[in-house]
Structures are given as C-alpha cells and as structure tokens.
Amino acid sequence: MRPVRTAFAGALLGTLVLAGCGQTGSTAAPATSAPTAPAATGAFPVTIEAGNGKVTIAKKPERIVSLSATHTETLFAIGAGSQVVAVDDQSNYPPEAPKTSLSGFKPNVEAIVAQKPDLVVISDDLDKVAAELGKVNVPVLLQPAATKLDQAYEEIAELGAATGNKAKADEVVAGMKTAMDKLAAQAPKDSKLTYYHELDQTPYAATSQTFIGQIYAMFGLTNIADKAPDAAGGYPKLSAEFVGQADPDLIFLADVKCCRQSKDTLAARPGWKDLSAIKKDRVVQLDDDLASRWGPRVVQLAESIGAAVSKAGSTAGAS
C-alpha cells in the first residue's frame, strides 16, 4: 500500500484511495490539531504551535527536508527554496525541488538524518518520525492536512515564520485570499447544479465537510455525496446505483493521472453512460496534484472548478 494523494483526503483516505488508485502524496483529512498563527516578526528564535506541539527553531534553517508534497510547494512559493536540501519522492513541484528517495509514508530516520537537516517538515507523523528525529535533536514541524482554507493560510504563514520568510509568506497568503474572494464573488448566487467529485475509481467521493468540498461550496454547487449512507466520515464509497440515481450535473475527476479516468472510462461503467454529465460533456478532468494538495496552487484548482461551473451554467441557460 502506498501513501495517499494529498490535500483533500487525509489519513483516512490514505488507506482507502491507495488500494484503488496509485497516486501518492498527502491528503487533507480531518487534522487532530489546528496550528495557530505565530506572532513571529522574522527574527529567531521563533516558536510555532504546530501539530506536534510547540516547536522552537533557534536560528534560520539552512538545510530543510520536506516530506510533504504540499509543503514542498509552499516552501518554494514563499522563497525558502534555496534552503531546501531534500524532498520526498512524491514532491514533483516545482521541477527544481531536490527530489530524493525519501518517503513521507515510510520515513527512514537514518536516511533523513544523513541529509543533515536543521528542520524537517512533515504532514503526517507516521512511525512517530517526529519523536525519533527529536531524539537526535532535529527540529520537526508537523503541519497536518488542512481541513479549511483558513488553516491552509495559517500553515503557509507558519512556514514563512519558521524559515525566515515571513514577509513573502504573508504576501502569498494575501494573494491567495484576494484571488479566492474574487472567484467566490464571480460565482453564481443561485446555482442549482449538482456535482460528484471522484477521488478514485472504486469510487470514493468527498463530501461538503471536507477541504475540497468547501472549495466547491464557493461556487454554489450541491454535492451528491452528502446524502451517501456513510457520508459522515467525509469520504464515502459510492455505489454505481447511487451515482446513477443522483445523476449529477457535473463530474470532477481527481484520478486522471493516477487511475487514467476520463469521460470514456466513466461511460463504460455499468449504468453510467446515460448520466447527464456524460451526455452533456460536463466531465471535468482535474489535475490530480492540484486536487489533492492544500498549498498555494489551490487557487488554480478553484479556477478550474469556477470555469467548469460557468460553462455549465451558460450551457444550461442556452438550452
């Protein structure tokens, strides 16, 4: 079994999605603790209230190891890229990130220590890697998968404070907020469109209570997964019959690269070829990475969703 795809599925989905798909990374499932924004001004030492408690960083880190694809993206976005010496095997963006064979899913303490890090950033504390690295005096910052946008913003700001890049991090967050507010303001206020977000082809979905579900809510969409029998966990496995009866207006696929899903593969599923989304060409192939991470590129994900909603609304109005 491999690690999950990232931002919007979390530790729970780590066990669910991997069995059916194959994309990896870090997912955003309910986090056990929401870090609070630091009062750092850019000076050191700085203390961050992270998922693994209060972490004090004595001086500006110069050898950062990231074991989270989302946090790798953030580190480079906030200007800390030159401080990053190694990233995990799922960190594929930006291209210049120093990708290694390190694993965030099966962390090897000796291999991590061999990089001589002065800060390790993780999104899951698997195998109690934070405590193990603490034994050899390596600071670890656990920033768990965000469950809401504000938490994603907080984590970016905290990484800025932790790396000595607070001003740039604040700039990134401000830009994200402005872009997301603009997208929300442009969204239709009376949309009656329904949707299905597919995490993997088994098929698992995501409800409105998840991080990704909250992004869709910005556009006034109704999530068919909210009425699934096991929707309480946030990531229900839907039956073909359930999806067929719900007949969503839009289908968003987050399993394109990992599982090679498309409108054609959906149409081949029993009872799905007559779904409205398929017949009206409203199957949207998302970028798997954008749909599974909670870093700065979440704006691009929202833009993709907004464009699909706008197109569907225009089509509906013309029909």
Q: How would residue 31 be classed by pLDDT, with cut points 50, 70 and 90? A: very low
pLDDT for the residue numbered 188: 83
Q: How would residue 315 be classed by pLDDT, with cut points 50, 70 and 90? A: low
Q: How would residue 30 be classed by pLDDT, with cut points 50, 70 and 90? A: very low
Candidates 302, 303, 319; CA nearest to 7 is 302
Top-level class of domain 35-182: alpha beta
Quote the mean pLDDT of the chain: 88
C-alpha 45/C-alpha 265 separation (Å) is 54
Q: How would residue 299 be classed by pLDDT, with cut points 50, 70 and 90? A: very high
Tokens of 8: 């919007």
- Rounded to an integer, the average pLDDT of 91-113 is 97
Residue extents of the structural domains in the chain? 35-182, 188-318
Q: Is the pLDDT of residue 190 over 80?
A: no
Q: φ and ψ at 231, to 5 degrees?
A: -70, -20
Q: How would residue 40 be classed by pLDDT, with cut points 50, 70 and 90? A: very low
- Rounded to an integer, the average pLDDT of 234-241 is 95
Most confidently predicted of 18-22, 109-113, 216-220 = 109-113
- Rounded to an integer, the average pLDDT of 22-41 is 40
C-alpha 50/C-alpha 55 separation (Å) is 7
Q: Do 35-182 and 188-318 agree at the fold level?
A: yes
Report CA 161 to chain centroid distance, whole Å: 21
For 273, residues 6+ apart whose C-beta sits below 8 A from its C-beta are 267
Top-level class of domain 188-318: alpha beta
pTM (predicted TM-score): 0.87
